[in-house]
Amino acid sequence: MTEKLEMYKCNICGNLVEVVLSGKGELVCCGEPMEKMFEKTQDEEMRGEKHVPVVSKNGDELEIRVGSIPHPMEENHYIQFIEINSPDKRYVKRKYLYPNEEPVLKYKCNCAKVEARELCNVHGLWISGEIDTEN
């Protein structure tokens, strides 16, 4: 059984998929079950770089940065995407990023609460937890 917005990766070919709508079946790629990716929330295990997305508000625009210390955006170590969604999973916005770009997503959003995720190509998937945008 999968859940909406879960991500699964293939450890053989590197395919990464997101569940758009949940179903009962097991996801398989290259003949093997795909591995569910779990979001990390604790930055302290990293040395000198931060991964948890930081959300701030400027008028009606949200700014999501990775992270509280800017993450490297080098050829072999960079943030591959930043995503913001409403906690009820009705709205999702994703920005894909490439080396040498700034790891930031700006988005106009009226959601009272959001959560942000990002994927580092070396250190995996990270999530902010639920953030109240009205404060």
CB of 67 to Fe ion, least distance (A): 9
CB of 79 to Fe ion, least distance (A): 7
Structure tokens at 30: 């290259």
Please check whether residue 32 is in contact with residue 10, taking contact to mean a CB–CB distance below 8 angstroms. Answer: yes
Q: For residues 10 and 125, which CB has a smaller minimum distance to Fe ion in the complex?
A: 125
Contact residues toward Fe ion (CB under 5 A) are 120, 122-123
Q: For residues 22 and 121, which CB has a smaller minimum distance to Fe ion in the complex?
A: 121
Q: For residues 57 and 123, which CB has a smaller minimum distance to Fe ion in the complex?
A: 123
Q: For residues 43 and 87, which CB has a smaller minimum distance to Fe ion in the complex?
A: 43
At residue 45's C-alpha, the angle toward residues 53 and 39, to 5°, is 45
Q: Which residue is nearest to Fe ion (CB)?
A: 120
d(CA 129, CA 114): 8
CB of 91 to Fe ion, least distance (A): 27
**134 φ, ψ (degrees, to nearest 5):** -85, -5
Please check whether residue 51 is in contact with residue 103, taking contact to mean a CB–CB distance below 8 angstroms. Answer: no
CB of 10 to Fe ion, least distance (A): 21
Residue from 120, 119, 64, 112 nearest 91 by CA: 112
